[in-house]
């Protein structure tokens, strides 16, 4: 069987699969499942093109990894064939532990971080492939002596980020997010075992940092997307509450498993296999099909929120630098109750507040390092005139039904 497959990709043109084992991993049902999980959850409600999947993103990151390996080797960085294969596997599987609507699910049904799940999936696959993933897992868990390999998988300039900024920008149509990924990759090098960027690439790095920031505000933290996600969180919480009370729900078997059971990180060692078994069957279709069935459910909140989501009657979002006053919130709650004309409900499901921050994106644990022509290495923030200071910003939001009187 020919495993030299080429995928058409509107972003890069073509993606060539570099190793037979990579082909086999792609064929595995664990990986095929990523075809049914959108990369950006509900973002397509604002950007209708944003329907691309984690499957496609993983292939894209793989493609960039093969390019990065070529560039580094051309600069005499030592990467053995085994290491090249392993780092390709590591990037291919870096998101294998993501569930549908990840951010939402992690707040409701599955209290396990997706990276833990990724490792769990990789270990299961490693068993199935007779230990061929040993080195990849080592790199993924940052236990390999060549630090830069891990940085290519998960660091300030990893191929994950490089692909998702590019791909999300492409499919949303938000041109502000386009990055010069090819230029950045061509400028990569290794010094003292760590990834650095040649001085000539500094403008591309600056552009990259800015593109990332613009993508947060225009896409990842878009307030309408925020509203949709918060509504979905509340649908699932409500469903979980009802399940706990024993109310029957028309949902798929895998979703039922997570609704009618509790599962936490600490259960992994004992019940990891059971978790993986059900988690591996969960995808966007379970969630959306559930919402569609909830539309006709007797519970008012469950059906109200589900209808609002499916028919895209998204809640209004007010943003503010300061917290909302309790008076104002109370007023909104009253009006919402009137609007809904059902006083018998827990209004917290319909009017809710919170804070949004870009902090998770701003951590600069391992900063980008610039390699100067004279051999010196400096972190990008130390370079006068190029320090892009990524401020952490928090905003308060208040969500409630549109068109309340």
In the complex, least distance from residue 64 CB atom to a second copy, rounded to whole angstroms: 14
Q: Per rule CB under 8 A, is residue 24 in the interface with a second copy? A: no
Supply φ then ψ for residue 144, to 5 degrees. Answer: -100, 140
Q: Which of 106, 129, 289, 345 forms a contact with a second copy (CB under 8 A)? A: 289
CA dist., res. 74 & res. 272, Å (int): 42
Among 144-152, 237-245, 284-292, 335-343, the segment contacting a second copy (CB under 8 A): 284-292
* Of 3, 27, 127, 247, the one binding a second copy by CB under 8 A: 27
User: By CB under 8 A, which span of 79-87, 172-180, 256-264, 342-350 interacts with a second copy?
Assistant: 172-180
Q: Where are the alpha helices (DSSP H) in 261-401?
A: 268-279, 284-294, 300-310, 326-340, 359-362
Per-residue tokens: 279: 């988690």
Question: Which contiguous run of DSSP H or E holds residue 61?
Answer: helix 54-74
Least distance from C-beta 276 to a second copy, angstroms? 16
Does 297 interact with a second copy (rule: CB under 8 A)? no
The tokens for 340 are 């809904």
By CB under 8 A, tell whether 9 contacts a second copy.
yes
Residues 6+ apart with CB under 8 A from 46: 222, 224, 225
- Least Å distance, CB 8 to a second copy, is 4
HSE-CB of 103 using CA atoms within 13 angstroms? 16
Sheet with 352-357: list strands edge to edge.
316-320, 394-400, 352-357
Of 83 and 206, nearer to a second copy (C-beta) is: 206
- Paired tokens of 154: 């998960």
For a second copy, the binding residue among 69, 174, 195, 242 (CB under 8 A) is 174
Contacts of 62 (CB under 8 A, 6+ apart): 15, 17, 18, 22, 88, 91, 92, 159
- Interaction between residue 6 and a second copy (CB under 8 A): yes
Q: Write out the binding residues for a second copy, residues 335-374 only, by CB under 8 A.
A: none
- Contacts for 302 with CB less than 8 Å, ≥ 6 apart: 235, 238, 239, 242, 294
Among 245, 341, 385, 405, binds a second copy (CB under 8 A): 385
Closest CB 44 distance from a second copy, rounded Å = 7
Site stretch for a second copy (CB under 8 A), options 45-53, 90-98, 108-116, 361-369: 45-53
| Rounded least distance, CB 279 to a second copy, Å | 14
> Do 28 and 48 touch, CB atoms closer than 8 A?
no
Q: Which residues, 180 to 209, sit near a second copy by CB under 8 A? A: 180, 182-183, 186, 203-204, 206-207
Closest CB to a second copy among residues 281, 339: 281
Nearer to a second copy, 99 or 137 (CB): 99
Scanning 39-47, 91-99, 297-305, 335-343 for contacts with a second copy by CB under 8 A, the matching segment is 39-47
- In angstroms, the CA 286 to CA 402 distance is 28
From residue 273, how far is each of 33, 121, 170, 263, 340 by CA, in Å?
17, 10, 37, 12, 44
Among 155, 124, 149, CA closest to 31: 124
Strands 369-371 and 194-198: parallel
Q: Any idea how long the chain is?
A: 405
Q: Please report how close the Cβ of residue 10 comes to a second copy at its closest, in angstroms.
A: 4
Q: Which is nearer to a second copy, 140 or 257 (CB)?
A: 257
Which spans of this chain sit near a second copy (rule: CB under 8 A)?
6-11, 13-14, 16, 27, 29, 32, 35-36, 44-45, 47-49, 51-53, 55-56, 59, 170-176, 178, 180, 182-183, 186, 203-204, 206-207, 210, 214, 217-218, 252-253, 281, 285-286, 288-289, 292-293, 296, 310-312, 385, 391, 393
């Amino acid at each position: 069987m020919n495993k030299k497959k080429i995928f058409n990709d509107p972003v890069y043109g073509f993606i060539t699969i570099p190793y037979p084992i990579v082909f086999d991993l792609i064929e595995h049902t664990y990986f095929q499942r990523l075809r049914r999980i959108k990369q950006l959850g509900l973002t397509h409600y604002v950007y209708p093109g944003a329907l691309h999947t984690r499957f496609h993103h993983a292939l894209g990151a793989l493609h960039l990894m093969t390019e990065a390996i070529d560039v580094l080797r051309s600069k005499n960085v030592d990467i053995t064939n085994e290491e090249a294969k392993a780092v390709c596997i590591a990037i291919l599987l870096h998101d294998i532990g993501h569930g549908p609507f990840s951010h939402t699910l992690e707040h409701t049904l599955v209290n396990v971080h997706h990276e833990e799940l990724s490792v769990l999936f990789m270990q299961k696959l490693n068993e199935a492939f007779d230990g061929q993933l040993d080195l990849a897992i080592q790199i993924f868990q940052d236990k390999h002596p060549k630090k830069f390999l891990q940085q290519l998988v998960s660091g300030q300039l990893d191929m994950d980020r490089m692909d998702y900024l590019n791909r999300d920008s492409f499919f949303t149509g938000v041109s502000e997010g386009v990055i010069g990924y090819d230029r950045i990759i061509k400028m990569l090098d290794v010094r003292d075992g760590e990834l650095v960027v040649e001085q000539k690439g500094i403008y591309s790095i600056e552009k990259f940092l800015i593109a990332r920031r613009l993508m947060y505000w225009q896409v990842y933290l878009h307030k309408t997307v925020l509203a949709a996600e918060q509504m979905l969180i509340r649908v699932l919480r409500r469903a979980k509450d009802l399940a706990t009370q024993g109310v029957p729900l028309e949902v798929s078997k895998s979703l039922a498993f997570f609704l009618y059971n509790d599962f936490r990180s600490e259960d992994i060692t004992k019940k990891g296999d059971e978790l993986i078994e059900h988690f591996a069957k969960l995808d966007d279709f379970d969630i959306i099909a559930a919402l569609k069935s909830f539309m006709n459910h007797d519970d008012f909140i469950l059906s109200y929120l589900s209808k609002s989501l499916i028919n895209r009657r998204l809640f209004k979002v007010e943003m503010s630098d300061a917290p909302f006053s309790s008076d104002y919130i109370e007023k909104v709650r009253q009006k919402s109750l009137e609007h809904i004309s059902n006083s018998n409900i827990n209004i917290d499901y319909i009017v809710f507040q919170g804070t949004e921050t870009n902090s998770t994106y701003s951590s600069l644990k391992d900063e980008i390092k610039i390699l100067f022509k004279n051999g010196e290495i400096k972190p990008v923030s130390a370079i006068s005139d190029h320090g892009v200071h990524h401020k952490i910003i928090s905003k308060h939001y208040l969500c409630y039904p549109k068109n309340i009187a």
